[in-house]
Each structure stands twice: as structure tokens, then as C-alpha cells.
Amino acid sequence: MPPDGFMTKERRRPLDTLRQVDGLLEAHLQDARIDGRPLANLAAAMAIEHSGADRGALLIATEAGVEQVVALESDLSNSTDADTGHDLDLIHQAVSTVRTCQRDGRIAAPVTLDRRETCVLYLEGDPDRLGEEAVELASSVVTRIGALLRSAALVEELARRTSNVTTLEALSTCLAAGELHQEHLDRAIEGALSATQSDDALLTLVQAPGAPLRTTVRGDQADELLAMEQPWLEQLAQGDVEGLGQGLSGACLVEPFWADLVPTVGARPTVGLMAVRRRADGPVYQEADRSFFRAVAHLISGALARMDYFTKAAEDPLTATGSRLALQLGLAEAQATALATGRAYSLILVDVDNFKQVNDQWGHLAGDEVLRGLAGALRSRLRSTDSVARFGGDEFVLILPKTEGEQAVKVAEQLRTLIAGQTFTEHDLAVTVSIGVATSSEISDLKSVLNAADRALYRSKSKGRDQVSLFDDTLDPA
């Protein structure tokens, strides 16, 4: 008989086991880098060893059945996959009642992980050794294992959400300027695949009246999504957003892209769609998956809308040339190119002679026709690297990158001759233009180059109009 206050080694074992398991739990909760599942397996092994069981297993029970996580003999130094012929009736009884059940040398101790999963510590051995003490130990250990697994799942979910937020932030930064390049689409589709744990993905941009403009796919079986592309686009064209993806039994997510930032009354113009898909035997998408997927689609829609807005803002609605905004951007780009390459750019400033008389005699509609015809003539002589923008009223600015003054004067003379030889409107109106040319090799900053071209234009008008003048040192640019 041991002295009072002392326990036998056999009596001490369960308490030591619980202290060790508690130590595992504390280590895991204090340091998220420790993986919960291996620790849960180790706790189960300790319970099997110290409960007096001959063998045991850690199981996960779901509606689909019972999955064995780890199975061990009581001899840890010779761990092998034990016989999997568990007492399923006892296990199901434990799961359904959510309490530890014992029968004929078998113990099933359950703990609920979430609404879909239950963790079960299952022990088998000599009925004489698997008594109430083993039941208490199994119940205590499995409760701690449940805490380990739940905290591990929480850490994984938090890491996943953090990754999703990082993906959205990176994508948002890429799209903030209203640009949408292939690298942006690649990042969007890869992020959607990773965050929703999908197998295949499709991203399509379209152009009116719904023909695919650019399609990107990922995954070994993405051709199944590709086969659905046209029917989906037809559904969207008919306004059937709810019907998207229904033919794939919940294992598919589909989101459209819209061309406008603010929903309008009537049909919204569809400019594309994105879809992800899991294998037929994979889990259905949860609300967290759907939320992230919608967020990615919303970011792309926003970029497309900003691009559409920028396109409209950068184009003069009357002449279809560049607007003042496009002119400012074009000048900045030309200046940057000149600084990077050391090659000058030139500006050609064009003004219609006596344009007020056209408006006064033939009306403003006729004046608009003249400006549209003049814009067409200017565009017809531009290189692919050149651009033209309406500066205001009846003035236009042409930007010629990597072009010196004398070469720009030749282009200006061709334009002046071309316009003088044409007639415009149904009244066969003939107009002439005065032109000023300046080059950045002589003037350093943007404002000075524009001012120099304006001074050269003033010289052309003062010399009798229908002239081309090049800025030189005799004209003060200030």
C-alpha cells in the first residue's frame, strides 16, 4: 500500500497524459506556426498508449462516412496501420448522442468540430483494462484534440482570408489607373483559383455584339468551361444572370463584368465574365468563396468602367480626335520619350483661317462639318506614332515624336496643301489653315513648346494666313 498522498505509476499515467496534452494545446495556441493536426495525432497516440488499449484510431465522422486520420497499436515504437474493422455502430451512437460510449472493450469518445464534422477517439482492448478511467481519459483527451483541430482550422481560415485580402489589394493597385493588361488578367484568374481552391478557371472579355475579344483559361479541364462560354454570354445578353453556372451543380461560380460603375435602368452592357470550377467530386462553394470571387469581378468591372470613362474623356466628341486630356497625356509621353532617347519631338499647331465667317454665313452645323472634315484630313497624314488632338475651337495640335523641326515643317506643308485642295460640306466650302511648328530640341519644357508653336502660328497669320512657320530664335517664346 503506497503512502498517503502518493499514487501508483498506473494511477499517475492518465494525469501525466492530460498534462502533456495540455502542453501541446498551449504550445499550439501560443505559436500558430505549430500545425494542429500532427499535434492532434500525437495526443491521440498518447491516449492510446496510456489508456491501456491495445490499439486505437483518430477518426473524422461526416455525413459521407468515417475517415481514419491515424491508427496505432499501443506499442508506439512499432507503429503500423491497425485493423480498421472498427465498431461502426458504437461510433455512430457516439456521434449521434455526442457522448462517450463504451461496449465490450471498445470506447468511442466524440467531440464536434463544426456542423459537418465530428472527431472521434476510438480505443480497443481488454475489457478488464478499459474501464471508467480509460473512458474519462478518452473523453478528456478528445476534447483537447477537438480544440487543437478547431484552432488549426481557424488559423488556416485566417491565413486564407489574409491571402485573399492581399490578392485583392495587389489587384486593386494594378487596376487603380484604369488599365487592364494581360498580366492583370493573369493575376486575377490565378488569385481566384487559389482563394476559391478551384481546379479550372475562365476569364473572357467581349466586344459588341458579344463576340469574345480575349479569353484566358487555366486548368487541365478548362475546356469544359470554354464550351460554356458562348451560352453564358448569350444568357448575359438576355439579362439572365441567375442562370449562370446552374448546369454544373453548384461546383461552378460565374460572375459578369459590367461596363458602367453605376447600375443603370434597363440592360447593362456586358463586357466579359469570369468562371471557376471544382471537380464534380469536390466540395460545393461556400459563401466565403463566393464573396471573394465577387470582389475580384467587381475590381475588374471597375477597371473596365474607368477605361471606358477614360476613353470617352480622352476623345473629342465632335471630331473624334484627342481631347485636351489626351493632348496633355500625349505631350507628357512625348517629353518623357525625348528625355529617355535624346531625340526631339515636334508640335504642329493648326488653325482654320477666318473660321468665324464660315459659322456666320453657313451656320454652326456647317462649321462642325468643316471641323470633322479637317480632322479626317489631319489623321490621314499621320504616322502610327503621331497623334492629333483638338486644342479648342478651330485649333488642332499634332504631336510628332522623334521628329526635328525641318521634318515637321515638311509634314505641315503637306497638310496645308491637302486641306487647301479640299472642299467640305454639301456647300463645297473651301478653307485654308495657318500652321505653327516648334520642336523640343530648342525649347525645354512642355508649356514653352506649346507657346513656341503658338508664336509660330501667329507669324503665319500675320504673314497673310495659309502659311507654315517654324519657331526660331527671332520669336520670343515667353
* pLDDT value at residue 468: 95
Whether the predicted pLDDT of 460 surpasses 90: yes
The share of the chain scoring above pLDDT 90, in percent, equals: 22
The predicted-structure confidence for 47-59, as pLDDT tens digits, reads as follows 777 777 888 888 8
| pLDDT averaged over every residue in the chain | 77
Q: Domain with 439 in it: what CATH number? A: 3.30.70.270
Position 1 in a domain: no
The residue from 156, 191, 213 where one domain ends is 156
Whether the predicted pLDDT of 394 surpasses 80: yes
Beta bridge partners of residue 123, listed in sequence order = 56, 107
Position 478 in a domain: no
Same domain, 451 and 381: yes
* pLDDT value at residue 455: 94
Position 421 in a domain: yes
The predicted-structure confidence for 427-440, as pLDDT tens digits, reads as follows 899 999 999 999 98
Same domain, 261 and 123: no
Where is pLDDT greater, at 328 or 158?
A: 328
Report the pLDDT averaged over residues 176-180.
59
Same domain, 344 and 272: no
* pLDDT value at residue 341: 86
* pLDDT value at residue 16: 62
The predicted-structure confidence for 258-289, as pLDDT tens digits, reads as follows 765 444 444 446 578 888 888 777 777 887 78
Same domain, 23 and 126: yes
What angle do helix axes 287-313 and 132-175 make, rounded to 10 degrees? 0
CA distances from 130 to 6, 127, 137, 290, 445 (A): 23, 5, 10, 48, 91
What is the DSSP-derived secondary structure letter of residue 267?
Answer: P
Position 169 in a domain: no
Report the pLDDT averaged over residues 109-122.
82
CA distances from 154 to 40, 157, 376 (A): 15, 5, 64
Same domain, 243 and 291: yes
Position 167 in a domain: no
Give residues with Cβ within 8 angstroms of 419, minimum separation 6.
374, 377, 431, 432, 433
Position 477 in a domain: no
Report the pLDDT averaged over residues 194-210.
77
User: What stretches of 324-382 show up as alpha helix (H) in DSSP?
Assistant: 324-341, 355-362, 364-380
Same domain, 13 and 133: yes
Position 79 in a domain: yes
* pLDDT value at residue 8: 39
Q: Are the C-beta atoms of residues 7 and 130 closer than 8 Å to each other? A: no
* pLDDT value at residue 372: 93
Report the pLDDT averaged over residues 97-103.
89
Report the pLDDT averaged over residues 242-256.
71
Q: Domain with 51 in it: what CATH number? A: 3.30.450.40
The predicted-structure confidence for 317-350, as pLDDT tens digits, reads as follows 899 898 887 888 788 888 888 888 888 999 999 9
* pLDDT value at residue 438: 94
Question: What is the pLDDT confidence band of residue 112, given thresholds at 50, 70 and 90?
Answer: confident
Position 433 in a domain: yes
The residue from 156, 184, 219 where one domain ends is 156
Three-state DSSP class for 87?
coil
Same domain, 14 and 152: yes
Beta bridge partners of residue 424, listed in sequence order = 429
Same domain, 209 and 292: yes
Whether the predicted pLDDT of 30 surpasses 90: no
Buried b (16+ CB within 10 A) or exposed e, 431-450: bebbbbbbbbbbbeeeebbb
Same domain, 228 and 297: yes
* pLDDT value at residue 397: 95
Domain of 446, in residue numbers: 324-470
Same domain, 352 and 378: yes
Cell of 431: 478653307
The residue from 271, 290, 313 where one domain ends is 313
Domain count, the chain: 3
71: closest CA among 80, 63, 62? 80
Same domain, 113 and 45: yes
Across 203-212, 321-330, 399-408, 454-463, least confident range: 203-212
Question: What is the pLDDT confidence band of residue 82, given thresholds at 50, 70 and 90?
Answer: very low
Q: How crowded is residue 78: how many other Cβ atoms within 10 Å of its Cβ?
A: 8
* pLDDT value at residue 159: 54
Same domain, 152 and 14: yes
The share of the chain scoring above pLDDT 70, in percent, equals: 70
Report the pLDDT averaged over residues 145-167.
62
